Structure 1
Amino acid sequence: MPERAHVSTIDTATFEDGLIEAIEPIRQFALATAIFHLFEAGIYDRIDDAPSSVAELASALGHDRAKLQGLLSYLRNEELVTLDDGEVALTRRGRALAKYRAWYTMLIGGYGQTFMAIGDHLGVGSGGAARDIVHVGVGSCGISRHDAFPLTQELIDKMRRKPEVVCDLGCGNGMYLVEFCRYFPGLRAVGIEPSEASCAAARDFIAEAGFSDRIEIVCNSAVEFVADPKATKPDLYVLGFVLHEILGQEGERGVIDFLSKIRAENRGAHVVVIEVSDQIDEAKQMQHGLARAYYNPYYLLHYFTNQKLETHEYWMSVFARSGFEVLARATTSAEVDSTGFELGYLLRA
């Protein structure tokens, strides 16, 4: 159900009441940043295993004790940790954050600098703002475990014959590839990722999971890999949040050329496409709780990072003009994401 519209009390309250309401976003900005660092600095994992003294925690992680104390005191005041006689532990609310860690990795670690650079990139010809591609990839893969990967599984299950070789174009940290290999015994997979740092992270993740013998990581762009006649020819290409990158950087012609190249080079292959439908101007739909909490900032950052989201109708037109038949389409489980904004397509050349 859509949330009720918030009625501001800024104009009718005392100055202090109005101030508290007006600067609440500043509190949330600082809190989101602190939570990201709680995870990223290794603190969360340490105290998730068992409570620790601040002194022991600082020594184990190589942190300045006074600065660590300040961060933990702040988090105590936000009721995420407890501090009793110098011992720090997670609260129930703090423990509940673990399953949502990937959203902080992507939106704060990956795109935090993007949000801060918006003002510098409003001007004509100012180009795209920077992002941390490794954190974007790792965070995106973590989020996908809950939404995009189950969606991909649902679409693959509609194929008449299960794939033997899968190629993930834009594989991030390799999570998709590991999940594929777990889901399909005997499957071989190849991941394509343009960032060498992301490739290194993917190889480490895959090795830790024990799938290095079944998964290959190639440092290359999706466009160049598909155009390489010597490249692996899979049964299934997976394009998770890839087409909107190509659209933003090379335009519609670039997307159609890319898909057409897949069709020409591997006519028997299937393609799974996962994209987010652009709903930023749909005022009613954007009042949904998850639309406001996640998709609104997600839509915003795409205007400043040379990425271009589009609608379902647009993608259906592009698939047809690229020579693909849409065999099936689906959206996320309502238990995870009831907006219906994330879309999945199973294509066949």
Structure 2
Amino acid sequence: MTRVATADSDYESGEAMQQSDFEQRLISAIQPIRGFFLAQCVEFAMTSGLLDRLSESAEAGVDRPAKDLDLHPERLTGLLRYLEGEGIVTDSEGTPAITAKGREYLAFRPWYELLIGGYGATLRELPDVMADRGRFASRNGTMAGLGSCGMSRHDAVPLVKRMIACLPEAPSALVDLGCGDGTFLLDLCEGGSPGIGVDPTPGSIEIARRAAAERGMSEQVGFVNATAEDYMARVEAEEAGTPCSVTAFSLQEVLEQQGSDATVEVVRTALNHTPGAHLAIVEVDHRPLDPAVTRHGLGNAYYDPYYFLRQTTEQRLETRAFWEQLIEEAGGHIVESVTTTPEVDSTGLELGFLVRGQ
């Protein structure tokens, strides 16, 4: 009887202890939910123009910004209250203004455009795609391209510029196979190089053409709505000059959707386009179980979800060794191999290969 009483007493003591710290455990356990709501609302505040508006000027009340942004005043007030609670805006019901924290989020808008705007809907399709290897989750290709190109200004564009600087002579043109919203190619061509952007998403091509017009580069840079493999299959060799093709994160799509042989053919065709032609490839090293990645701040915050998303959509990541072997199979020779500067991304996961034909 004494032993039973002690057991009951221990149980009640343990239960009381659990109840005493229940609230703190709850707060800790639902932080992912908080992050989910916050990311969705921040991305909307960016794409709707709200954070830009608040960063440019402070206006009393919400009626004017609500009208200009085509938002309902009452619901805009609710969003501003929420963002104030998260420290992103101040004075939500008086004269709303963006905080330093909000400006910092705004500075990294492309990551929200890619992961939330481009792949937000992807996660809602997990119940279907996780059970069937033959199915793939959808994504917003326009937003994914917009985010990817914006991010590339910090990493992939400098990477490609370093590779282009290694060419024996300036290329006659840059051909971006998988150009997204065109920002990547337009940034590369700012020095005066002609360019051709190729992408299978009509929305991205429309945005790219508008961007070229806004930057006064429509005559210098053109855009074609096609897949990389279709474009390269029908393009004719130039009579003069030596172009340099660029594939930034697009071979992974060809690899998943068309297979290894088709990917080899894209690389081979680009290299055989004209004698002396080069191809600049940017891909991501696939190391999802490497502690150097999983314990790295950026690896944890960005590459971990990036790796997972690539397994549910029509994209296939591979290792450095795989890409080196594929390039060799396509008859290519790696002239230069580079990665991002440590100040931007110290993981070394972003791979740049400057390739020429054998």
The normalised TM-score by structure 1 is 0.93
Give the superposition deviation at 1:231.
Answer: 7.0
1:46 corresponds, among 38, 45, 53, to 53
2:117 corresponds, among 94, 99, 109, to 109
After TM superposition, the structure 1 = structure 2 runs for residues 110-259 of structure 1, keeping only pairs within 5 Å, are: 110-182=118-190, 184-185=191-192, 187-230=193-236, 235-259=243-267
Give the superposition deviation at 1:285.
Answer: 2.6
Structure 1 unmatched ranges of 5 or more: 1-10
The normalised TM-score by structure 2 is 0.91
Give the superposition deviation at 1:86.
Answer: 1.8
RCO higher in 1 or 2 (8 Å CA, sep ≥ 6)? Answer: 1
Say which SS state the counterpart of residue 91 (structure 2) adopts: strand
Matched-pair contact (CA < 8 Å) for 2:77–2:93: no
What percent identity do the matched residue pairs reach? 36
For 1:178 and 1:228, locate their aligned partners in 2 and report how far apart those are by CA, in whole Å: 24
Distance 1:125 1:338, change over 3 A: closer
Matched-pair contact (CA < 8 Å) for 2:293–2:300: no
Matched-pair contact (CA < 8 Å) for 1:120–1:126: no
For 2:256 and 2:92, locate their aligned partners in 1 and report how far apart those are by CA, in whole Å: 51
Distance 1:63 1:167, change over 3 A: same
Answer with 233-242 or 245-254: which moved more.
233-242
Amino acid at match of 2:350: E
Count of residue pairs the alignment pairs up:
337
Match of 1:70 in 2: 78
Distance 1:282 1:85, change over 3 A: closer
For 1:56 and 1:232, locate their aligned partners in 2 and report how far apart those are by CA, in whole Å: 54
1:299 corresponds, among 278, 295, 307, to 307
1:21 and 2:31 matched: no
Matched-pair contact (CA < 8 Å) for 2:55–2:98: yes
Amino acid at match of 2:32: P
For 2:93 and 2:140, locate their aligned partners in 1 and report how far apart those are by CA, in whole Å: 38
Give the superposition deviation at 1:113.
Answer: 0.5
Amino acid at match of 2:148: S
Distance 1:12 1:57, change over 3 A: same
Give the superposition deviation at 1:119.
Answer: 2.1
Structure 2 unmatched ranges of 5 or more: 1-17
Task: Say what the alpha-carbon RMSD is for the aligned residues.
Answer: 1.6
Amino acid at match of 1:345: F
For 1:232 and 1:106, locate their aligned partners in 2 and report how far apart those are by CA, in whole Å: 35
Say which SS state the counterpart of residue 33 (structure 1) adopts: helix
